[in-house]
Amino acid sequence: MADDLDRLLDLLPEPVRLALAAPEARDQLLEVVLDLGRIPEARYPGRALALGSAVIERRDLGAVVEQLGPFGGDNRAGIERTLHRISAIRNRTGEIVGLTCRVGRAVYGTVAMVLDLLNTGQSLLLMGRPGVGKTTALREIARVLADDLLRRVVVIDTSNEIAGDGDIPHPAIGRARRMQVARPELQHQVMIEAVENHMPEVIVIDEIGTELEAQAARTIAERGVMLVATAHGNALSNLLKNPTLSDLVGGIESVTLGDEEARRRRTQKTVQERAAEPTFPLAVEMRSRSLWLVHLDVAATVDLLLRGQAARPQLRQLGADGQVLVQEPAPPPRPPASQAPSFPRPLGSTSNFLTPKPSPPSPFAAQGPARPRLVPLAPVPLPDPRRRPGPGGHGAFSPAITHPIETWATGDREPTPSSELDPPGPLRLFGVGVSAHLWQQAVRSRDLAVQRVESLEQAEAVLAVRQQLGLDPQVRRSAHRQSLPILVIKADTLPQIQRGLERLLTRRGGPPGQPRGGQASPGRHGPLPSSLGSSSGSPSRPDDSLEALEECRLAVEQVVLAQGRPIELLPRREPIRALQAELVARYRLASAVFGRGDQQRLRVFPP
């Protein structure tokens, strides 16, 4: 650690120098405060100490100011070739009536806390209260990036706090180049100038605090330049509440939901969602100089916070021996196996009971947590899917449905119970018009068991953007020849891709991230080949009916009866809905049909 503390103390009045002469008085010294008419004060982490008994007079302040360079527009001055900072407090006439002498130190080794993050090349944001060591860490990060990782680094030094006062930067930033800023309000212009004129790979910025600077940071990130910056705020949630800086972590927008979607989410109609991808994919909350909370996926953390759920950062602590201790976040709570339904849900519904992530809070939470009601179930026979239901739930056998059951990509054979199968590998998907980086981000953020393949021959299904699929009809024809299901999404955006991947995993017959064998079914967001059935416009097959009845049975036993809450089934044709309603009646439960056209579906109510 290097601090050049003697050069700062030489500027101070003699009584103050004498009070700080002892080594123990200098240890962990943060700043010295000189206020007109008051006793000088030394500040340390968590405490303050009066220096002597004599008050500061005007001639004391004048003697200090004479030894400094001119103060800038931000009322800060420095000592050349050092990292110390002197900030002035002025009266209404502009005369200096107080000085804050901040000790600047170059601390080596702190970058070990985030060295693995710097190797990723992703932009990094440091947050924390004033005095926690953000600038010190920023200075060391700039040096390591320039000297050890051999990156082209440019430091935007608005107040000469990172690289010190004077035209020659302090050795603490290594080979990194430093650009000074004439006035603080011009920092965003210098940021853009650095990218356009000096071809940096990394830009280091201290204290992003205005909307223009936040916009400049997004512009730089969009050009492929890595950013390392600091912002005031104790936690990521503070930035979300700050309208000026919220764009750094993706921003917030209000979204109005339809009545049906609001009921499915069990939320009010107007909700807040993340507006865009974060400028900084990585973020660090600095709680102290040796305890940092690391958010490895800022987008996922922001989504959790907007749903009212707690963030799950990684805890990193620097030990006394210099080793970094890493504590992974606790896994999200999973419902008991007896309560976790394994039947598919519509893609448009965000209340997906199959995902391991917590669902949005229920509006009934104020009444207290409800205990799941364990209802003993007697075996209930399934209705025969080969007959057409008539009035009152009765009907005759249909001779039109006689062919064998077909399963997902297995040919004409009877399905084997999932408990007798070894878990298969990841679901192999072929993408059409889907960006590779958004695909990877969706898989990584939701931990999905999905593998992207380069040809249709290797794929089990196709995920396509609607517009691109229309421009490439050959893909559709080839997929139909190979009996591959095609799921069409509206746009190449992260939420659409995430829901599409989860839908395909669910249709495979298991929850996302835990695929297992099973029958695929159609969805309203994408066409499927005729060999896999359709929700309307074609005769239903036994596998469609059996799947619908099994879905209904699991919904009744594992959600409606076990948890005491209603649930909506997948959209089905009227004959299949009648079979589902008959099965619901055998459990002595009520049901009703909701939706219009081919989106009509059965809702089952608890007793």
- For the chain, helix (H) and strand (E) counts, in that order, are 18, 28
The tally of domains found in the chain comes to 3
Would you say residue 259 lies in a domain?
Answer: yes
Strands, E assignment, 47-201: 47-50, 76-78, 85-90, 96-102, 124-128, 153-157, 177-180
Last residue of a domain, one of 75, 102, 129: 102
Cα–Cα dist 266/524, whole Å: 21
Would you say residue 22 lies in a domain?
Answer: yes
Based on the fold, state whether residues 139 and 231 are members of the same structural domain.
Answer: yes
Confidence of residue 562 (pLDDT cuts 50, 70, 90): confident
Cα–Cα dist 111/118, whole Å: 9
Based on the fold, state whether residues 190 and 310 are members of the same structural domain.
Answer: yes
Cα–Cα dist 25/586, whole Å: 82
Strands, E assignment, 281-409: 282-286, 291-295, 314-318, 324-327, 387-389, 395-397, 406-407
What CATH code is carried by the domain that includes residue 39?
3.30.450.90
Based on the fold, state whether residues 410 and 509 are members of the same structural domain.
Answer: yes
Average pLDDT over residues 27-38: 92
Does residue 63 surpass a pLDDT of 80? yes
Cα–Cα dist 40/50, whole Å: 6
| The pLDDT value given to residue 323 | 85
Would you say residue 65 lies in a domain?
Answer: yes
DSSP letters spanning 581-592 = HHHHHHTT-EEE
Would you say residue 391 lies in a domain?
Answer: no
Does residue 530 surpass a pLDDT of 50? no
Would you say residue 345 lies in a domain?
Answer: no
What CATH code is carried by the domain that includes residue 420?
3.40.50
User: What distance lies between CA 217 and its chain's CA centroid?
Assistant: 18
| The pLDDT value given to residue 375 | 37
Contacts of 136 (CB under 8 A, 6+ apart): 105, 106, 107, 110, 289
Based on the fold, state whether residues 121 and 210 are members of the same structural domain.
Answer: yes
Confidence of residue 96 (pLDDT cuts 50, 70, 90): very high
Based on the fold, state whether residues 114 and 90 are members of the same structural domain.
Answer: no
Based on the fold, state whether residues 114 and 261 are members of the same structural domain.
Answer: yes
Based on the fold, state whether residues 43 and 119 are members of the same structural domain.
Answer: no
- Answer left, alpha or beta for residue 335, where phi above 0 means left and psi between -120 and 50 means alpha: beta
Q: Which residues pair with 2 in a beta bridge?
A: 106
| The pLDDT value given to residue 509 | 62
Average pLDDT over residues 98-117: 86
Cβ atoms of residues 86 and 75 within 8 Å? no
| The pLDDT value given to residue 409 | 34
pLDDT tens for each residue of 455-492: 888 888 889 888 777 777 778 888 888 888 888 888 88
Cα–Cα dist 165/158, whole Å: 11
For 232, the 3-state DSSP assignment is strand
Average pLDDT over residues 528-555: 58
Does residue 393 surpass a pLDDT of 60? no
Confidence of residue 269 (pLDDT cuts 50, 70, 90): confident
Does residue 378 surpass a pLDDT of 70? no
Cα–Cα dist 273/279, whole Å: 16
Task: Give the H/E segment covering residue 26.
Answer: helix 23-26
pLDDT tens for each residue of 130-167: 878 888 899 999 999 999 999 999 999 988 889 888 88
User: Which residue would you say has higher pLDDT here, 587 or 445?
Assistant: 587
Torsion angle of C-alpha atoms 7, 8, 12, 18, degrees rounded to 10:
-70
Q: With the C-alpha atoms ordered 536, 541, 546, 547, is the resulting torsion angle positive or negative?
A: negative
What CATH code is carried by the domain that includes residue 138?
3.40.50.300
| The pLDDT value given to residue 543 | 56
Based on the fold, state whether residues 128 and 182 are members of the same structural domain.
Answer: yes
Residue 241: count of CB within 10 angstroms of its CB: 12
Question: Structure tokens of 122?
Answer: 């992703």
Cβ atoms of residues 202 and 153 within 8 Å? yes
Last residue of a domain, one of 532, 560, 590: 532
Cβ atoms of residues 165 and 82 within 8 Å? yes
Least confident of 86-100, 240-254, 433-447, 519-533: 519-533
Would you say residue 500 lies in a domain?
Answer: yes
| The pLDDT value given to residue 332 | 63
Query: Which residue in the block uniquely carries the two structure tokens 């239901």?
Result: 389
Q: Which residues pair with 432 in a beta bridge?
A: 464
Does residue 266 surpass a pLDDT of 90? no
Would you say residue 36 lies in a domain?
Answer: yes
Question: Structure tokens of 224?
Answer: 């492929």
pLDDT tens for each residue of 501-510: 888 888 776 5
Task: For Cα atoms 495, 499, 503, give the angle at the middle one, nearest 5 degrees.
Answer: 170
Q: Which of 65-74, 132-141, 340-349, 423-432 has the highest mean pLDDT?
A: 132-141
| The pLDDT value given to residue 560 | 85
The domain in which residue 464 lies consists of 406-532
Based on the fold, state whether residues 115 and 73 are members of the same structural domain.
Answer: no
pLDDT tens for each residue of 174-227: 999 999 998 889 999 999 999 999 999 999 999 898 999 999 999 999 999 999
Average pLDDT over residues 46-64: 91
Q: In this structure, what DSSP letter does residue 117 have?
A: H
Would you say residue 365 lies in a domain?
Answer: no
Last residue of a domain, one of 71, 102, 133: 102
Based on the fold, state whether residues 67 and 96 are members of the same structural domain.
Answer: yes
pLDDT tens for each residue of 119-128: 889 999 999 8
Average pLDDT over residues 294-309: 90
Based on the fold, state whether residues 298 and 208 are members of the same structural domain.
Answer: yes
Does residue 496 surpass a pLDDT of 60? yes
Based on the fold, state whether residues 122 and 225 are members of the same structural domain.
Answer: yes
